[in-house]
Amino acid sequence: MSEIRPLDLQDVPQVASMFMRVLRKEPGTPSSGLVDYLSRIFLEPPGHDPEIVSQVHVRDDGSVSGFIGVIPLALTLEDRPLRAAIASTYMVEDHESDPFAGARLLRGFLAGPQDISLTETANDISTTMWRKMRGTVLADYSLEWLRVIRPAAFMIEAAARATRLARLASPLARPFDALIRRSPDEAAWSHLSPAVHGNRLLPGADIDDDEAAWLLRHFSSDFPMRPAWKEEDLAAMVVHSRSKPNYGSMVRRKVSSRSGSPVGMFLYYGNKARIGRAIQILAAPGHEGAVIDAMLADADQRGLAALRGRTQPALLNAMLGRRFSFVHSASSIVHARDTSLVAPFRSGQAFFNGFAGESWTRLIGGRFD
């Protein structure tokens, strides 16, 4: 009879094959790099908790047909320690012919020992399933923001999603963008003019792994519900986050006040003429706008076509005046048997997504050649 059981090292090659077929739509033998990474991230994740583990669905014939990758996360709510579990990779082979596997995996996950269950990458089907299990979809954490910087380059990149040949037209985009960006129109959603930044920008600097970890802890401490990372776990997560070649080169910077004290940080990945991806923006209260401006100016200076990322309620107000577009692509969802634990997420008092999620892993934007 089919069963749900904890992931074992021997299952990982099958899970890796399914990852390529189901999620990346690239059939074929998975690379040893992917197998190694899945083993590391799901069998020995930072914050390892022997009771909060990844699960597989195994058919009668012993083959693995479903998987839910779980990453534990220690949280604290006003000094109350909590255990959270993040549902990361969630996939089922032939889910239409075997709808039991996905249902059992999710039900088993939500019945785990954790106080809070989270996901930040639920697609439409998963979102509906979480809802049926009384999960709360967090609209303020579930929007994808987009800021266009160079509109012609952005259009070419959008077309390149259908065919990479579109990039052959890139040289044509430059004069158009140069012309459009001459207009220092602060109200323009269609482009970002270098003149908009002027001399209002706060100073910034690249940061190394240690400083990134320190700033993550420092700025997330403003949230009543926040991660309680162990030092070695956060350090490991920062190392994981270094490489996202599918998104581009890493840009990790702090933003400081004129007196030199840090007021925020940002982490994004992107290359010239491409659409960059931000996975974390953190700011001291009242400095959100300045940090966002610094990030956009940096992306502009590096020649990016646009920048996108996931919303955080703490940043939404500052984004409203800065001509961001918002769309929904994947959902951030919370589930807790004690419904009072959902309240901080509903009210935007929880630090969630990014490093309090799964975006720091190489599964998002990574390459495993």
Instruction: Give me the residues that bind other proteins (CB under 8 A), please.
Output: 1-4, 92, 95-97, 99-104, 106-108, 111, 125, 128-129, 132-133
Q: Residue 108 or residue 366: which is nearer to other proteins going by CB?
A: 108
* Residue in 296, 260, 290, 262 with CA at minimum distance from that of residue 278: 296
Q: Residue 45 or residue 66: which is nearer to other proteins going by CB?
A: 66
The angle subtended at Cα 79 by Cα 209 and Cα 222, nearest 5°, is 50
| In the complex, minimum distance from the CB of residue 133 to other proteins, in angstroms, rounded to a whole number | 6
Q: Please give the DSSP secondary-structure letter assigned to residue 169.
A: G
Residue 21 tokens read as 């077929």
| In the complex, minimum distance from the CB of residue 96 to other proteins, in angstroms, rounded to a whole number | 7
Can you spell out the DSSP letters for 164-213?
Answer: GGGGGGHHHHHHHHHHHTTS--TT-SS---HHHHTT-PPPEEE--HHHHH
Matching residue, tokens 């908009």: 196
Q: Residue 52 or residue 129: which is nearer to other proteins going by CB?
A: 129
| In the complex, minimum distance from the CB of residue 79 to other proteins, in angstroms, rounded to a whole number | 35
Q: Residue 43 or residue 103: which is nearer to other proteins going by CB?
A: 103
Longest dimension (CA), the chain: 68
| In the complex, minimum distance from the CB of residue 22 to other proteins, in angstroms, rounded to a whole number | 14
Element (H, E) at 116: strand 116-122
If one counts every other C-beta atom within 10 angstroms of the C-beta of residue 367, the result is 13
The single-letter code of the amino acid at 29 is T
Q: How far apart are CA 135 and CA 218, in angstroms?
A: 30
| In the complex, minimum distance from the CB of residue 143 to other proteins, in angstroms, rounded to a whole number | 23
Q: Residue 119 or residue 311: which is nearer to other proteins going by CB?
A: 119
Buried b / exposed e over 77-108, threshold 16 CB at 10 Å, is beeeebbbbbbbbbbbbebeebeebbbbbbee
Identify whether the C-beta of residue 82 lies closer than 8 Å to the C-beta of residue 76.
Answer: yes
Q: How far apart are CA 280 and CA 41, in angstroms?
A: 20
| In the complex, minimum distance from the CB of residue 101 to other proteins, in angstroms, rounded to a whole number | 8
* Residue in 93, 69, 62 with CA at minimum distance from that of residue 7: 69
Element (H, E) at 56: strand 55-58
| In the complex, minimum distance from the CB of residue 102 to other proteins, in angstroms, rounded to a whole number | 4
Q: Residue 77 or residue 85: which is nearer to other proteins going by CB?
A: 85
* Residue in 143, 120, 343, 360 with CA at minimum distance from that of residue 225: 343
| In the complex, minimum distance from the CB of residue 60 to other proteins, in angstroms, rounded to a whole number | 10
Q: Residue 106 or residue 333: which is nearer to other proteins going by CB?
A: 106
Q: Residue 91 or residue 342: which is nearer to other proteins going by CB?
A: 91
| In the complex, minimum distance from the CB of residue 139 to other proteins, in angstroms, rounded to a whole number | 20
Element (H, E) at 121: strand 116-122
Residue 204 tokens read as 């910034």
Q: Residue 113 or residue 321: which is nearer to other proteins going by CB?
A: 113
